[in-house]
């Protein structure tokens, strides 16, 4: 399999889906938004974007399966599997807020092979495969060299399952607020992880998110020199309850804090 060639083709699919999202945003009908769970939304745009992406990817690699947020496919015994979020940041999108993005990854039974994330608002295309560098709009990117927490810019994600996350979130914010360079809530995990790869942030912390939220960005972050683990430091976090991404320099210091509070998560 020529991963470089396949990555180029996936980039075109991501841009096509992103163009669709941007076009639809100009006349978006909020009355057609559905609620999957408390404060967790899906729109006709998510579904149409997923349909477009799945059709294109099936043409590229017919033998591959799918895991997609809005219901296409599941984990099975196929050798390859596309992992797709057709609109990461749906709540942002339906409120006319950035960032929101398209996220497409290909994995085999062992690892993510390639990842492409297109952040629509800033027209930023991030990509990497396991044999390449990480890129943003054709420019090679790297994580930051910042290793001091007091100077580190950190992204937090607050998942929709508030009752299971609340106690942990309250303790984490109390621990970090005023002791790091800054905290931000942005609402699009794939894009935010790519921002770490590009050196804009040092870390991102969230639990109870799906593999489609992190698959593509995980290989981009890794190839840019970063790290992704669960809150206990386990690097195999594709199906993890918790996801902690960083530039690698602040990973151990933040991991110590996460381990202290991890017991507050209400796991199923």
Residues 120 and 156 grouped into a single domain: no
Of the residues 140, 162, 178, the one at which a domain ends: 140
Residues 135 and 179 grouped into a single domain: no
Q: State the CATH number of the domain containing residue 53.
A: 3.30.540.10
Number of domain units in the chain: 2
Residues 218 and 154 grouped into a single domain: yes
Return d(Cα 46, Cα 34) in angstroms, integer. Answer: 11
pLDDT grade for 45, boundaries at 50, 70 and 90: confident
Return d(Cα 100, Cα 90) in angstroms, integer. Answer: 7
Q: State the CATH number of the domain containing residue 157.
A: 3.40.190.80
Of the residues 123, 140, 157, the one at which a domain ends: 140
Return d(Cα 73, Cα 81) in angstroms, integer. Answer: 9
Residues 188 and 108 grouped into a single domain: no
Model pLDDT for residues 236-253, shown as the tens digit of each residue: 777 767 999 999 999 999
User: What's residue 76's pLDDT?
Assistant: 57
Model pLDDT for residues 94-152, shown as the tens digit of each residue: 889 999 999 999 999 899 999 999 999 999 999 999 999 999 999 999 999 999 999 99
Of the residues 82, 111, 140, the one at which a domain ends: 140
Residues 231 and 105 grouped into a single domain: no
Cβ atoms of residues 243 and 237 within 8 Å = yes
Residues 26 and 134 grouped into a single domain: yes
Residues 131 and 158 grouped into a single domain: no
Return d(Cα 265, Cα 267) in angstroms, integer. Answer: 6
- Buried b vs exposed e over 165-199: b needs ≥16 C-beta within 10 Å? beebbeebeeebeeebeebeebbbbbbbbbbbbbb
Residues 89 and 203 grouped into a single domain: no
Could you tell me the pTM of the whole model? 0.93
Residues 32 and 132 grouped into a single domain: yes
Residues 114 and 217 grouped into a single domain: no
Give the range of the structural domain holding residue 172, as residue numbers without chain letter.
149-264
> 3-class secondary structure for 211-262?
HHHHHHHHHHHHHCCCEEECCCCCCCCCCCCEEEEECCCCHHHHHHHHHHHH
Residues 44 and 79 grouped into a single domain: yes
Mean pLDDT of 48-58: 95
Residues 242 and 124 grouped into a single domain: no
User: What's residue 30's pLDDT?
Assistant: 66
């Amino acid at each position: 399999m020529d991963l470089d060639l396949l990555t180029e083709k996936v980039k075109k699919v991501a841009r096509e889906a992103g163009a669709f999202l941007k076009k639809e945003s100009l006349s978006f009908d909020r009355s057609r938004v559905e609620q999957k769970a408390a404060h967790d939304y899906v729109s006709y745009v998510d579904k149409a974007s997923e349909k477009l992406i799945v059709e294109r990817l099936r043409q590229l690699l017919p033998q591959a399966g799918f895991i997609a947020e809005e219901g296409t496919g599941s984990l099975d015994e196929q050798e390859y599997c596309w992992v797709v979020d057709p609109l990461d940041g749906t709540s942002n999108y339906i409120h006319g807020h950035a960032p929101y993005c398209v996220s497409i990854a290909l994995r085999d039974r062992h690892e993510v092979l390639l990842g492409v994330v297109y952040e629509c608002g800033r027209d930023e295309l991030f990509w990497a495969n396991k044999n390449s560098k990480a890129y943003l709009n054709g420019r090679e990117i790297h994580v930051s060299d910042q290793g001091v927490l007091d100077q580190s810019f950190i992204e937090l994600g607050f998942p929709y399952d508030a009752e299971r996350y609340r106690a942990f979130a309250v303790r984490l914010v109390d621990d970090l607020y005023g002791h790091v360079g800054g905290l931000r809530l942005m609402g699009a995990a794939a894009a935010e992880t790519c921002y770490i790869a590009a050196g804009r942030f040092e870390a991102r912390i969230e639990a109870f998110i799906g593999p489609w939220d992190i698959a593509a960005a995980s290989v981009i972050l890794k190839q840019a020199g970063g790290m992704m683990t669960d809150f206990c430091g386990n690097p195999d976090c594709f199906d993890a309850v918790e996801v902690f991404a960083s530039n690698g320099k602040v990973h151990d210091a933040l991991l110590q804090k996460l381990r202290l509070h991890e017991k507050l998560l209400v796991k199923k």
